[in-house]
A and B are shown apart, each in its own frame.
Chain A
Amino acid sequence: MTVASRRPKPARPARQAPTDFTLPVSRAAIDAVTPIDGDPDWLRTDRQAAFDAFEALPAESNLLYTTYFDFRNVQLAGARVTTSVASAPAAIEVPSETDGLIVIDEGDLVGAALSAEAMAGGVTLTTIAGLSRQDPDRVRGLIDGGTTLPMDDRFAQLTRALWAQGIVLDIPAGVRLLRPIVIRWTAGAVDRALLSRTFISLGDGASATVLEELIDSGLSKPDGGQSLLAGTLEIQVGRDASLALTSLQELPSTTVAIQHRNAVIGEGATLHWALAQLGSRLVRSRVDNRLEGDRSSVEQVEIVFGGDDQLFDLTSYTHHVGRDTTGNLLSKGALLDRAKSFMKGMIVIERSAVGTDSFLGEFGMNLSKATRSVAIPSLEIDQPDCRRAMHASSVGPIDEAQLFYLESRGIAPDEARKFIVLGFLEPVVARVPVAEAQDRLREMLEARWDAGIGAAGGAAA
């Protein structure tokens, strides 16, 4: 529609709408993608349905959030969608402190391995293509219909239409793994777009720890074209099962990361997320936690440490359905330079969810003048009979009193600032369930601060 303006405006080039998605995709691209051998009809139909949905959906279908959508930094016009991946894995060894490892390098499977204990328990850790050769019905059961991805999300549907690589991790009922299983993705190659799906299922009473690493493949170029890594985690946590999932995202600064994490949590089950977002040019992440089983619980901690022109667009939906469910979400963000974060968190308590305890906290620290923190913590409540339903958020600068105190103890100002910022993030780091991932995250945060990013903040103060 046209709106007549009273003042004539100077001619200017058509501004790219923030909703534009520049990745060149077409219906023909779907036919080119062959995620599993033989590309069965049901899969092609599923992917076509997804593409229809992608084309029909708005960039942000939740009207609450439409003003906070900004893809202007996404420049994927030159990117090519990966249509097929290599599947000639080498034999790899399981690192001693883990129960399993799978490595995908720029879409290609490098290898997958399980510990003796995991193998004895019947754990599956393989690519979707690999599993389809042994158990095609299982693969179809996971994928057909797309019920494990949000139907109203344009980018989730794009991933469902164009995924070329995928992983399945199955932990059978009753199997309790003591060490983490590592899922490692590398990305960043100039002009490469990879879309992928990951399925994790825990049977009744199972227990596992998963560490997802999203890292630089070494093929990115600071002034080269952007790359896209779109990925999912489609999770089923069975009755009384327990899953701890840590994700460390440190992709190169030319990468656009799109993430959909969708978990259905069964009766008495627990899911513990620890999500660290450090890298990428732009991250658009959406987490859907569905607490379907009675007494199910989710704990989610999230950390953002951004600089330069990074944008972190993070949404979480916590959906309380069963009785006496618990949700406890905590996000902390520290921003430098011109970094921006949009933290959108929604707690939904359905009428059936009597006895809910739900908390959402979003806390930010803007460390430079040009940063921007947006927090939209929302509640939609149909059942007041709850233990707790609340959210809290705050944004504040470095506390001068803390700085003064540290300086009075002889700590240099820059060092003191670093301590305060890392100390602000530490409560989240401390809740990362894998000790070794905790240490690594601390090192990453410190390295990021030291790599000039902190100096820039110090200069601005």
Chain B
Amino acid sequence: MTATSEIITDQREQFAFHDDIAYLAETKRGLTRATVEEISGFKNEPDWMLQYRLRAFEHFQKRPMPTWTDGLDKINFDKIVYYRKPSEREEKSWDDVPEQIKATFEKLGIPEAERKFLAGVGAQYDSEVVYHSVKEELSKLGVVFMGTDQALVEYPDLFRKHFGTVVPAEDNKFSALNAAVWSGGSFVYVPKGVEVPLPLQAYFRINGENTGQFERTLIVVDEGAKVHYIEGCTAPIYATESLHVAVVEVVALPGSKVRYTTIQNWSNDVYNLVTKRAHAYENSTVEWIDANTGSRKTVKFPAIYLRGEGATADIISVAVAGKGQHQDTGAKAIHLAPNTRSRIVSKSVSKDGGRATYRGHLKVSPGATNVVASVRCDALMMDDISRSDTYPYIDIQEDDTSMTHEATVGKVSADQVFYLMSRGLTENEATNLIVQGFLEVFTKELPMEYAIEFNRLVKLEMEGSLG
């Protein structure tokens, strides 16, 4: 089509890195009851957690593999290492983080981000939180921001009160797997009335071939409190399967406001299967801002259960599916209380034979009167070897619901590309600009440095797409 693509080099390499880390402890490949006991043993957990893990493990074994999406049967659970521990204890300050790990994080630009802008950093290196700092002022406010394992030790009552209440182990096969072998993740507690002034940031990445990463994040925002939590992921590129099965639980108590922003850029061998769910109580607001690029297959539907009157849900979901990738993403808003509102906006891009699927669920239960809900999905296809699917489920059981839904699928308009090229842009630049414009509803919700990173990821994905 054009020569421009030939002069563009794939910059992916610079984001792909893999350091040889000496792990202090790890389990054997494969998953058995003994593995679960071993993980719990490494962590010196209370007995209730061990029992919980074992129950979840039993459920995982019994539960059939879901068939509504394809390709999951290719996961070889026996090849996965379920737990790796790279360093002995949680590091309290950046200076204490081992040099080799620090060098890896340098490539991701974390220290700078932390110093300049962000309130706290929780960096997950494989399966354990190795570095965590919360600014002093937040500690004074009573905000808890730490690794989930640490929270189990330091805040056992708070932890146990909320853990597994939003996403029960038995929710689905993968939530059961996570509950059985979970390790790491973030724990956030914001006390009553406290507004966290800056976003809390956790940076995740997978290192180590075939390392399963099963982090568990629990965010509890007390009455009238407010927080913005950000996580982003990059991962080294490997040829064999990697598995990421996470569970995120958010409890938004009455009057609180929670925003959870995720950018995921998994390497192309990762199965990324995530259960993310929030419970929104009276007059609270929950926002999922969720972007998925990379991975072999992502299955993720951020969900909000509107349990209290007057609660609001806002979900923006973005997916970019490239060669060999299937982004099976979407959103769910379940209205269980009167006067609740939800808005779902989904944007997907598929290219080079990738497949982008939107799957959504909007439900208004009996008793949830005066609901206002909207769903909008737009898909952009870059070529005719890619595929785009839209499967929204809308289930309304009240007579005064106001629901609107719209979905469109299209391609980059030749007119727009032509116009931009006539202004001196190359075809690639023009396409990039159009795609970035298409995704702007998402990008504009991000803090600036994330917006820059996201646009860079999109550019990376788009490189040479018209060639």
Contact = CB atoms under 8 A, between A and B. Distances in A.
B391 A396 contact: no
Interface stretch (A225-233, A364-372, A421-429): A364-372
B399 A367 contact: yes
B396 A366 contact: yes
Nearest to B404: A394
The CB with the most chain B CB atoms within 10 A, among A1, A3, A379, A397, is that of A379
A241 to B, nearest CB: 30
A370 B367 CA distance: 10
B394 A396 contact: no
B98 to A, nearest CB: 43
Contact of B405 (A351, A367, A392): A392
Contact of A378 (B67, B390, B411): B390
Interface stretch (B102-110, B379-387, B422-430, B451-459): B379-387
A370 B366 contact: yes
Given A375-B405, A381-B388, A385-B411, A460 B399 contact: yes
A392 B407 contact: yes
Interface string B395-434: 1111111111111111100000000000000000000000
Interface in B348-397: 366, 379-397
Main secondary structure of the interface of B (DSSP, over half): strand
B161 interface: no
9 contacts: A1-B64, A351-B384, A368-B399, A371-B399, A373-B397, A378-B389, A393-B394, A395-B403, A460-B399
A328 interface: no
B291 to A, nearest CB: 21
Contacts of A64: 68, 391
Contacts of A389: 408-410
Nearest to A460: B399
Interface of A: 1, 3-4, 6, 63-64, 351, 364, 366-386, 388-397, 460-461
Across chains A and B, which 9 residue pairs bring their CB atoms closest together, nearest first?
Answer: A384-B381, A384-B411, A379-B390, A390-B408, A366-B399, A389-B409, A375-B394, A397-B400, A395-B403
B68 to A, nearest CB: 5
Nearest to B59: A3
B115 interface: no
A376 B392 contact: yes
B444 interface: no
Contacts of B140: none
B192 to A, nearest CB: 34
A381 B379 contact: yes
B62 interface: yes
Given A63-B67, A389-B408, A397 B394 contact: no
A398 to B, nearest CB: 9
A372 B368 CA distance: 13
Nearest to B350: A384
Contacts of A384: 380-384, 386, 388, 409-411
Contacts of A393: 392, 394, 403-405
Interface residues of B, number: 41
B402 A397 contact: yes
A391 B377 CA distance: 10
B409 A364 contact: no
Contacts of A4: 58, 62
B406 A390 contact: yes
B57 to A, nearest CB: 13
A396 B400 CA distance: 6
A367 to B, nearest CB: 6
Contact of B396 (A372, A377, A385): A372
Given A371-B399, A389-B409, A381 B67 contact: no
Given A376-B392, A389-B409, 11 more contacts: A63-B68, A351-B384, A364-B396, A372-B395, A372-B396, A372-B397, A379-B388, A381-B381, A385-B411, A391-B407, A396-B401
Nearest to B62: A3
A394 B68 CA distance: 25
A369 B398 contact: yes
Contact of A379 (B64, B398, B407): B407
A127 B321 CA distance: 53
Nearest to A352: B384
A166 to B, nearest CB: 36
Contacts of A366: 396-399, 401
Given A63-B67, A397-B399, A376 B391 contact: yes
A394 B405 contact: yes
Given A368-B399, A381-B381, A390 B409 contact: yes
Nearest to A390: B408
A3 to B, nearest CB: 6
A356 to B, nearest CB: 10
A80 B68 CA distance: 36
A323 to B, nearest CB: 13
B58 to A, nearest CB: 8
Nearest to B393: A376
Given A381-B381, A383-B384, A384-B383, A391 B401 contact: no
Nearest to A3: B62
Nearest to B412: A384
A320 to B, nearest CB: 12
Nearest to B386: A384
Given A1-B62, A1-B64, A380-B389, A374 B405 contact: no
Nearest to B409: A389
B305 to A, nearest CB: 18
The CB with the most chain A CB atoms within 10 A, among B58, B380, B392, B393, is that of B393
